[in-house]
Amino acid sequence: MIKENLRLSSPPNTNHQTLITKLGFTLIELLIVIAVLGGLAAIFMTSYPGAQKKARDSIRRSDIKQYQTAMEVYANKNNGQYFTVAATNIVTQCGSAPRPLVLPSCPDDPKSPAHYRMASSTLQYVLWGQLEILDDTVSPAQIQYFVVCSTGESGLKRGPDSWGTNCPI
């Protein structure tokens, strides 16, 4: 009786070709996945450079504020007076003594050290850093700066950077 039941039941499916086609993806499924991944890559590639520029501009603003703190520390140690320097690269005024701005590390622009500038007299100073992302009021031909003054004012200013020690904000 048992032998009869075994004969009547269908034999197990051993056709390897059937198993392979059931385990794979169809061409349509693969094309859809490739199209979705391509779309995501396109979105990522267009937004990534903008995010990098914003990050570098954020670093620039932070660095200029750090130099502002160093200028105030210098003035506190020197009877409330700043050192005098014509418009120059801030980094050349920073480092260990005898340079006036003594910092453990001198922040530098992520792209070019020439983008951090300063001008100072004994009574006032202006620090500025060139930005990459322009606001809506600036034409692409102009340069935009983040400016910090000894008066405590800070903000955005369009170039050229010929304002000397007078706060342009």
pLDDT, tens digit, for every residue of 86-135?
888 888 888 877 788 888 888 888 888 788 999 999 999 999 999 988 77
Domain-located, residue 34: no
Task: Please answer whether residues 113 and 91 qualify as being in contact, where contact means their C-beta atoms are separated by less than 8 angstroms.
Answer: yes
Domain-located, residue 20: no
Tokens of 152: 């405590």
pLDDT digit string, tens, across residues 26-76? 889 889 999 999 988 888 777 777 888 889 999 999 999 999 999 999 999
Domain-located, residue 35: no
Domain-located, residue 98: yes
Domain-located, residue 46: no
Domain-located, residue 40: no
Whether the pTM exceeds 0.75: the reply is: no
The boundaries of the domain holding residue 146 are 61-168
Number of domains in the chain: 1
Domain-located, residue 56: no
C-alpha span between 90 and 92 (Å, rounded):
5
